[in-house]
Every structure is written in C-alpha cells, then in structure tokens.
Amino acid sequence: MDAIATYALRLGDDSLIISQRLGEWCGHAPALEVDLSLANVALDHVGQATHFLNLAGEIEGKGRDGDALAFHRDVMDFTNCLLVEQPNGDFAQTIARQFLFSHYQELLFTALAASRDSRFAAIAAKAVKETAYHAVLASDWVVRLGDGTDESNARMVAGLDWMWRFADELFVMDEIDAAAVAAGVGVDKAALRTAWDARIDAVLADATLARPAARRPVLGGRAGRHSEHLGHLLSHMQFLQRAYPDATW
Amino acid sequence: MVSAVTAITQTDRIRAILSRVPDPEIPAVSVLDLGIVRDIAPGSVTITPTYTGCPATLVIEQSIRQALDANGFAEVAISTTLSPPWSTDWISDEGREKLRAYGIAPPPKGASASMLKNQELAECPQCGSSNTEEISRFGSTPCKALWRCKACMEPFDRFKCH
C-alpha cells in the first residue's frame, strides 16, 4: 500500500477497533440508556470504518474492499493506535478511552474536512458531527463519575490512569503522516495537541480530577506492534470469516 | 423540446414514486421527507446517508431500487454521496409534521450548527408541553434521543439535531 492508502487504512482501523470494543458492552452496560448509547457510538464508528477502509482498498487498487481489509488481515497488519484496542475494563475505563479518543477524533476530523482530497474531506465532514456527540457524551460521564461518589471517582481516576499512557501515540507524526500532509491530504496531528490538552484539562477540572501523571508513552500500533489484547479481539471479530472464508448470506 | 418535456415528466414521476418509499426505521415518513434523496435527474437518483453507520442505509437503497424497478424505471441508476453531509435541516416541513404525528419530536430547524450544549427543550409530541427533559442522548436509533414529558409523564423520542 502507498502512503495515502495506508493513511486511510489507519483512520479506518482506529474506528473499526474501538467500535468492536464498544460492541462488547452490548447487553452488559450498567443501564439500558448506557447500553443504547455505547451501541450507537459503536455504530457511528463502524460507519467511519466502512468508509475509510473502502477508500483504502480503492486507493490500493488490488480489489480489496472494506470487508476484506477488516476480516482478512491478521494482527500485525492492523495499524490502529494502541488506545482503541485497550480492554473495556469497567465502565469508567471505557469512558476514559472514549473521552481521550473522541476529543482527538473530533479535532482530527475537523481538520481533515479541509483535506485537498475530496474523498477524505467528505467522510470527515460527515463523521465529525457524530464525533462531537461522542466527545460530549464521554465528557459528561467523566464529570459525573469524577465528581460523583468516592467509588465512582476512584474508578474514573484508575481508568484515566490506565489509558493516559496511550494518548501520546495519537499525536505522533511518522513518514506516512508526513507524506499525507505533504500531499495536502492528511492532518498535522502534532498541531492538534494543544487544543486537545485544553479540552481534556477543562473537562477534568469540571470533574474535580487531576491530570494523570505523565508516563512513558507506549507506541507502536501504527507499525503493527500491538498489545496481546488485539489478537483476542480479532479472534472474536473475525471468527465467522476465519471459519467460513468469504461466507455470504 | 420533446425530450426536455419528457425529462421533466420523468423526474416528476420518480419524485412521486420516492414520496411513497418509507424510511425503514420510521415508516411514517418517506425518504423524500427525510431529505435522504439529494437529487433526481433523468436517469439517476442521488441519495445520502443520515448517519455514517446508519444500518438503514442499505435497506433504503434497496427499497428505492425496488420501487423504481416496479414502476418501470429499472434503468435509473442510484448513486450515494456524502458531501455535503446530511443535516436535519433537510427534513421537510411536511416530514416534521409527520414525525410529530407519529410521536417523535422533530428537530428544531436551523440549529444544526449549535446542536450540542444549551439545546432548547423539545416539545412533547403527545401533549405539546415544553416542560420536558432529556433522559438519554442516544435513543432507539442513531438519529434519536430519549426524552420525557414532565407534564403528561410520557416518554418520547426526539429526532436529534444533526
């Protein structure tokens, strides 16, 4: 795959993997309304993934579509960031992951909507409205749990503390990003960091939470170096296509 | 001249057919009412998804295909476009009235840019009261939020401003 196809692949993989994680909550969330909201957010992410993975396949030009890319690749070929593959943990940990990711994705899509490549711009402009909703939903829960009971506060602190180490990777620029930016297609992610920090800090202040202590960032997802968790996730997500390749119904 | 007249007639006929194709999730409104149909031209219909992950998108396309085929427009192509993105402002006035009659509070018009915080209170589709509150930002479908009327105590869906 060339740089632009890989760029689309990464966007699609982020959305696909977090949607699969959110889908794991279906029928298990703490309340019916929460169950519905997590499933709806998952659905939005599936939609983003479908568009970006189809686009990656189209640019690659080897006849692979979004389904082929989602279901016929193994763990080391996935290019998602490590944040999205982290296990759900408890509800607070899931919210922490969504909170960090959705604010990033909203800023990213806002910028990507101005891409010179109309295909990227169209998907981003469409998805950013949904992503804004996700960011507000997650932020509301961060405040509610953080500024809630001792128990909910402790869980929110622990959830954020776990996810925090994966936040830096969101803003890392490598040669693929540089090529996409140079072509006028992609976004300078490093430049989003200040705005992201300001958003996160404002919500944390509302939630009476301290910013988690800086940790050594964990990187590698974009290059296919994943945690063991992703393989297990794929074994569920890809089960049917692994057992019955190219099954249709 | 003749071909121009034929073209106008054809788009009018297609429009009439599409006005009878219901949305699969909210059958009270048609795909035209919802603003899903972006363009009707001789030989082609362009549609747009409401939400990127809306599971009804494929069914909508199939329903439109079926309706066109059944009415002698098998040669009319259907294409999908994302840009400019669909917004609730594209729901027609007639569509809004149908939503309300169906029990779904329609989204306020022209508010899609400032949709999130300070959202104005929904009007209860049952009793018309504005003494309402949001129960859940996400409801039974991606496009709806769950609300409750504090006057008549009935829960109701609100079409999300988008």
> In chain A, whose CA is at the least distance from the CA of B147?
A33
Q: What is the pLDDT of residues B108-145, one digit of tens each?
A: 877 554 454 446 788 999 999 999 998 888 877 778 88
Helix, strand, coil % (nearest 5) of chain A? 70, 0, 30
Closest CA to A23 of A1, A48, A45: A45
pLDDT score for A183: 98
Closest CA to A127 of B54, B37, B118: B54
Chosen for mutation from A102, A106, A133, A134 (greatest number of chain B CBs closer than 10 Å) is A133
What are the pLDDT tens digits along chain A (249 aa)?
A: 999 999 999 999 999 999 999 999 999 998 888 998 999 999 999 999 999 999 999 999 999 999 999 999 999 999 999 999 999 999 999 999 999 999 999 999 999 999 999 999 999 999 999 999 999 999 999 999 999 999 999 999 999 999 999 999 999 999 999 999 999 999 999 999 999 999 999 999 999 999 998 889 999 999 999 999 999 999 999 999 999 988 887
Given a cut of 90, whether residue B161 has pLDDT beyond it is: no
Query: Do the bridges between strand B104-105 and strand B77-80 make them parallel or antiparallel, or are there none, so unpaired?
Result: unpaired
* Closest residue to B136, CB basis, from A33, A45, A48: A33
pLDDT score for B118: 46
* Residue A33 to chain B, least CA–CA distance (Å): 6
Q: How far is CA A92 from the centre of its chain?
A: 17
* Closest residue to A40, CB basis, from B112, B117, B138: B138
Q: What residues contact residue A248 under an 8 Å CB cut-off, 6+ apart? A: none
pLDDT score for A149: 98
Question: Which of A219-223, A231-235, B7-11, B46-50 has the weakest average pLDDT?
Answer: B7-11
Chain B residues within 8 A of A46 when measuring between CB atoms: 53
> In chain A, whose CA is at the least distance from the CA of B161?
A129
- Exposed, middle or buried by CB within 10 Å (0-12, 13-18, 19+), for B76? buried
Given a cut of 70, whether residue B159 has pLDDT beyond it is: yes
Residue whose tokens read 């919802």: B34
- The encoded tokens of residue B120 equal 């104005």
With vertex at residue B103, the alpha carbon angle to CA B100 and CA B105, rounded to the nearest 5 degrees, is 55
- The encoded tokens of residue A174 equal 């490598």
For chains A and B, CB pairs below 8 A equal 78
- The encoded tokens of residue A128 equal 């950013």
* Closest residue to B53, CB basis, from A46, A133, A137: A46
Given a cut of 90, whether residue B162 has pLDDT beyond it is: no
- Exposed, middle or buried by CB within 10 Å (0-12, 13-18, 19+), for B10? middle
**Is the minimum CB–CB distance between A55 and chain B shorter than 8 Å?**
no
Chain A residues within 8 A of B84 when measuring between CB atoms: 125
* Subunit contact A130:B52, Cβ cutoff 8 A: yes
* Closest residue to A130, CB basis, from B51, B112, B117: B51
If one compares A55 and B82, the residue with the highest pLDDT of the two is: A55
Cα atoms found within 13 Å of the Cα of residue A230, Cβ hemisphere only: 26
Chain B residues within 8 A of A40 when measuring between CB atoms: 138, 142
* Residue B116 to chain A, least CA–CA distance (Å): 7
Using a pLDDT cut of 70, give the percent of chain B over it: 91
pLDDT score for B42: 87
State the Cα–Cα distance between residues A170 and A185, nearest whole angstrom.
18
Cα distances (Å, whole numbers) of residue B92 to B19, B32, B97, B99, B156? 12, 8, 9, 10, 21
**Is the minimum CB–CB distance between A37 and chain B shorter than 8 Å?**
yes
* Subunit contact B138:A137, Cβ cutoff 8 A: yes
Cβ contact A83:A167 at 8 Å = yes
**Is the minimum CB–CB distance between A115 and chain B shorter than 8 Å?**
no
Q: B79 by DSSP, 3-state: which?
A: strand
Chosen for mutation from A46, A126, A128, A206 (greatest number of chain B CBs closer than 10 Å) is A126
* Residue A65 to chain B, least CA–CA distance (Å): 16
Q: What phi, psi does B46 have (nearest 5°)?
A: -110, 130
Average pLDDT over residues B139-160: 88
Q: Which residues pair with B47 in a beta bridge?
A: B37, B80
State the Cα–Cα distance between residues A38 and A44, nearest whole angstrom.
10
Query: Do the bridges between strand B44-47 and strand B77-80 make them parallel or antiparallel, or are there none, so unpaired?
Result: parallel
Q: Which residues pair with B80 in a beta bridge?
A: B47
Chosen for mutation from A11, A14, A43 (greatest number of chain B CBs closer than 10 Å) is A43
Cβ contact A96:A146 at 8 Å = no
- The encoded tokens of residue A235 equal 């074994």
- Exposed, middle or buried by CB within 10 Å (0-12, 13-18, 19+), for A213? exposed
* Residue A101 to chain B, least CA–CA distance (Å): 18
* Subunit contact B142:A48, Cβ cutoff 8 A: no
